[in-house]
A and B are shown apart, each in its own frame.
Chain A
Amino acid sequence: MITWLATLGRAGLASAARLGRANLLMLAMWGGLPAMLRRPRLLLDQMFSVGVLTVLIIAVSGIFVGMVLGLQGYYILSRFGAEATLGVMVAASLVRELGPVVTALLFAGRAGSALAAEIGLMKSTEQLSGLEMMAVNPQHRVLTPRLVAGILSMPLLAAMFTTLGVYGGWFVGVGLLGVDDGTYWAQMQSQIDWHEDVLNGVIKSVVFGVVCTWIAIFQGYDCVPTSEGVSRATTRTVVHSSLAVLGLDFVLTALMFN
């Protein structure tokens, strides 16, 4: 009984300490911002590996999610004779929910895991300690550009996902199933609000970008420096990011669209 209680207490203290380390790391990374602005080259490299390399999976998924929405929406709406509102349905679900959330999940899987594995390997091969030996702050030099690149890339990727999704729904609805082209766009424009829907979706994707990148960097930086530790960090990154995104999405939705 006592040992059981002790185990529980240890686990609780360990997670509290981890949370504290994560927050301290976040603060330290913001401290590296001025140094990073003096070397934009570092940010550019990270924008490439975090943003540009993720475009393909985002684009393909966006198109297919939009096409599925168009198909499912058409079957349900045509039962009530309301095919005209297909554009609203596709755009509203993409702009408000699916765009930010699915992009964040894919981002965590594609970019987050790569970040965690890269930083974890840097730690286990003692490259980070090497930087420190040369009086270079590894948090500022290595982590800050990655964090900023993640935060900048996420909203742009989510916007691409949503745009391609709207076109995917348009292709199925208008191109294949015969919904009127003008109605598809006109209903969408009259029902989707720039502030309420689009900007709130962008805010969501920025928040998800911060959270996913933060988790990935922290897991990589905090991993046990062995091959097993790096593999665990990668797994944890994807699991924690996905859970955080889905949980935060509920909170943000409740705050924004009540």
Chain B
Amino acid sequence: MSKTTQLEILVGAFMAAGFVALFFLAMQVSNLGTVNSGDAYRITARFDNIGGLKAKAPVTLAGVEVGRVLDIYFDSKDFRAVAVLGIYSQYNQIPDDTFAKILTAGLLGEQYVGLDPGGSESVLKEGSEIAVTQSALVLEEVIGQFIYGKAQEGAN
């Protein structure tokens, strides 16, 4: 093999290895290979208090991820938070009286939206709104109520 072709092969192998590494970063390390949020339908849910919920948090049904929180904004008319949920289009059989609540993974973990399916015949579609929701559990409020209750007991 001449010196020229050897050099060409080495440089080619270097370029190829670099691009393979980039491809690996895209598919294996980052989220590019996993979720394609393109084919998802959007529904909204209104909460009194979303706690620490953030965009991109998972939406689960029976513990299985069925979507992601796409956007969160504040409705200045009724002073509630509106979460836009993108549900993957293969899950198109969710009843429209489904109950949405904000849960926490572990004691101090990330917050996510949990869905409890209802019994209605009609299903959630693009643009539907979930009527029944439960707000996030704010730890300070719970502790506050607990201390307040204890104080009441002490007073009696």
Contacts and interface: CB of A to CB of B under 8 A. Distances in A.
A188 B22 contact: no
B102 to A, nearest CB: 18
B31 interface: yes
Chain A interface size, as a band, is 20 to 34
Interface in B50-72: 58
Contacts of B148: none
Interface in A185-199: 185, 188-190, 192-194, 197-198
A155 interface: yes
Contacts of A198: 25-26, 29-30, 32
Nearest to A164: B21
A51 B7 CA distance: 12
Nearest to B56: A193
Nearest to B23: A159
Contacts of B13: 52
Given A44-B8, A162-B25, A156 B30 contact: no
Contact of B7 (A45, A95, A164, A202): A45
A190 B60 CA distance: 14
A59 B150 CA distance: 61
A192 B11 contact: no
Interface in A40-87: 44-45, 47-48, 51-52, 55
A202 B22 contact: yes
A34 B30 CA distance: 37
A59 to B, nearest CB: 9
B25 A51 contact: no
B7 A48 contact: yes
Interface in B104-129: none
B34 interface: yes
A163 B30 contact: no
A197 B30 contact: yes
A216 interface: no
Given A51-B11, A192-B31, 12 more contacts: A44-B7, A44-B8, A51-B14, A52-B11, A55-B17, A95-B25, A156-B18, A156-B22, A163-B24, A189-B29, A192-B30, A194-B32
Interface of A: 44-45, 47-48, 51-52, 55, 91, 95, 153, 155-157, 159-160, 162-164, 166, 185, 188-190, 192-194, 197-198, 202
Leading 9 A-B pairs by shortest Cβ distance: A156-B18, A159-B21, A194-B32, A163-B21, A194-B30, A159-B22, A192-B30, A160-B21, A52-B14
